[in-house]
Structure 1
Amino acid sequence: MKILIADDDPSSILYLQDMLGEWGYEVEVAVDGNAAAEILRRSDGPLLAILDSMMPGMDGIDVCRGIRQSDTERYVYMIILTSRVESEFIVAAMNAGADDFISKPFNDEEMRVRVRAGRRIVELGEQLRRRASRDALTNIYNRGAIIEILEKELSRQGRSQHAVSILFCDVDNFKAINDTHGHLAGDEVLRVLARRMAATLRPYDSFGRYGGEEMLGVFPDCGLEGALEVAERMRAAVAEAPVKTEFGDIDVTVSIGLATVDKDQTCKLATLLQRADDALYRAKANGKNCITIAH
């Protein structure tokens, strides 16, 4: 797990770095409060932080307050490191959003157990957040989560003017698979296909189950050419080998409808989804196992 140390004292940073590294943590360092806040707001930033109470720029309490007031969905567990022990300071830190505090000079074992407690809380929160956003059958995003991701990308696209692409993917002849092999086989087909297709995505792409056998992919900072490459990898990953089930091997293909909002355009969510859905319908009409681009 990554942990942030925010302190302007080089000797304190080195000591904490060595100690936390020995305990198995990946350490990131900030030497002032502004840098700490920026790191913690990153989508891949540490979820555990040790913040010195007094730093240049924003102090530790300011960092806590800023992170709690931000719109990030990730919960960051923040520990204030301070030489102040008066109750007024502790109350102010907790009210600002700090989770715990450690007095200077600190005891190494106390630091270890407090960091470990924070880690347990963070890991539990991440497990609960993941369960709430994942489809129970396929373990990709559920409908609500993938739509929320798309909404955020379209909002970001409107501000920063970058391209966004989406695809609708539908399993060909899925009703026939269920009728011939049974619904348990159909469930296994969906699980395997979701795993194959998700494995072809870029790290910053998102993929979710929209409903039934239909899935939605969201590709940020991705124009039509790049989206076509990703979509073709997904289509090929499905068609390259049968799905092995307890009820026999099942040949499966998918049809894909692709829609793009270029960097100089804007598009409402419902309109973009409809364009991709119309393209998917044409892919089905064109013989299936193919990709069709929205008009």
Structure 2
Amino acid sequence: MRVLIAEDEPVSRHMLEAFLTKWGYEVVVAGDGREAWQVLQQDDAPKLAILDWMMPGMEGVQVCQRLRERADHPYVYVLMLTSRDRKQDLVEGIEAGADDYLIKPFDAHELMAHLHAGKRILDVQQELISARDALRVQATHDPLTGLWNHAAIFDILRRELERAQRQRTSLGVVMADLDHFKQINDTYGHPAGDAVLREATRRLQSAVRTYDSIGRYGGEEFLVVVPGADEASALQQAERLRASISKAPIEVDQSSAIPLTISLGVTAPAEPEASNLESLLRAADLALYDAEGVADGPAVTARPTA
């Protein structure tokens, strides 16, 4: 774990550095408050900082105040060192945003105990952040395929349509449906169907651009949002998706390889500012219906947005 030591007094600074290095910490040293602030603004800034209260240029309490004014940066746990032992001074330090404090002089055991407490709090905080991020993923992603779920891809489409309307740029929408998927489930079983969906997802993801968005719209249906694409570009994207699916059978076990195709419907409004979500999705869905009705499919068809 990386720890910042900000202490202007050389003997104290070297003593702290020696203790922390001995205990296995990676130490970053600053000789005054301004240098400490520069370190804490870096992308890989230490998550734990030991700040002396009294330093030239910028006091430790001022560094702490600046840290707490930043809402968009990772939290830094601050252990304040001070010779002040008046209750009012300690209250001032805590109100400035310090998490803990040590009154000089202190011994190594005190310092170690306070560092361990800070590390425990940072570890718990990281666990909470990880749990929050996991919940966000669960709320927005399909558990089987890992794609955006229905609600999330719908929200992405809404935002992209609003952006296209503001900037007067084009927007393509592709609705896709794996052909004969019910037959695959009936013939090979649902575990095989799940394996087909996962492999189909992998192939589709390999065929989209980094700034396109793809979601599982429902069952074996997928929705692809293609920013900046007119109808011709969206059709080209849909053809790439079709080719990625049908390039080779999908092996579900050592004895079964399932040929797979996909039908796709495309729409791209000529005037996005005159369109809405319902008309976009209706046009893409009707185009998909046309594609599924082609006798010698699979097919890619387009419909204008009403």
Q: Same fold (TM over 0.5)?
A: yes
CA spacing shift, 1:19–1:164, aligned 2, 3 Å: closer
Q: Distance in 2 between matches of 1:290 and 1:85?
A: 73
TM superposition shift of 1:258: 1.0
Query: Cα deviations across residues 8-50 of structure 1 (Å, max 9, x unaligned)?
Result: x862355347894689xxxxxxxxxxxxxxxxxxxxxxxxxxx
How do residues 171-186 of structure 1 correspond to structure 2 at under 5 angstroms? 171-186=178-193
Q: Which residue of 2 aligns with 1:291?
A: 300
CA spacing shift, 1:266–1:81, aligned 2, 3 Å: farther
Q: Is the 8 A contact 1:79 1:102 kept in 2?
A: no
Q: Which residue of 2 aligns with 1:255?
A: 263
Q: Distance in 2 between matches of 1:221 and 1:199?
A: 19
SS of 1:199 mapped into structure 2: helix
If the length of structure 1 is used for normalisation, what is the TM-score? 0.66
Q: Distance in 1 between matches of 2:237 and 2:91?
A: 57
Q: Which residue of 2 aligns with 1:269?
A: 277
Q: Which residue of 2 aligns with 1:200?
A: 207
TM superposition shift of 1:214: 0.8
Q: Is the 8 A contact 1:168 1:258 kept in 2?
A: yes
Q: Distance in 2 between matches of 1:54 and 1:195?
A: 48
User: Mind listing any 5+ residue stretches in structure 1 that lack a counterpart?
Assistant: 1-8, 24-50, 68-75, 94-99
CA spacing shift, 1:12–1:228, aligned 2, 3 Å: farther
TM superposition shift of 1:242: 0.6
Q: Which residue of 1 aligns with 2:5?
A: none
Q: Is the 8 A contact 2:185 2:192 kept in 1?
A: yes
Q: Is the 8 A contact 1:163 1:262 kept in 2?
A: yes
If the length of structure 2 is used for normalisation, what is the TM-score? 0.64
Query: Cα deviations across residues 52-100 of structure 1 (Å, max 9, x unaligned)?
Result: 6666xxx953x53xx7xxxxxxxx754587989646984xx8xxxxxx7
Larger C-alpha radius of gyration, 1 or 2?
A: 2
CA spacing shift, 1:162–1:103, aligned 2, 3 Å: farther
Query: Cα deviations across residues 196-229 of structure 1 (Å, max 9, x unaligned)?
Result: 1022222222111111111111122333343333
CA spacing shift, 1:238–1:88, aligned 2, 3 Å: same
For residue 15 of structure 1, the aligned residue among 20, 27, 39 is 39
CA spacing shift, 1:216–1:104, aligned 2, 3 Å: farther
Q: Is the 8 A contact 1:255 1:288 kept in 2?
A: yes
SS of 2:207 mapped into structure 1: coil
Query: Cα deviations across residues 86-128 of structure 1 (Å, max 9, x unaligned)?
Result: 46984xx8xxxxxx755799x9958766655544332221111
Give me the CA root mean square deviation: 3.7
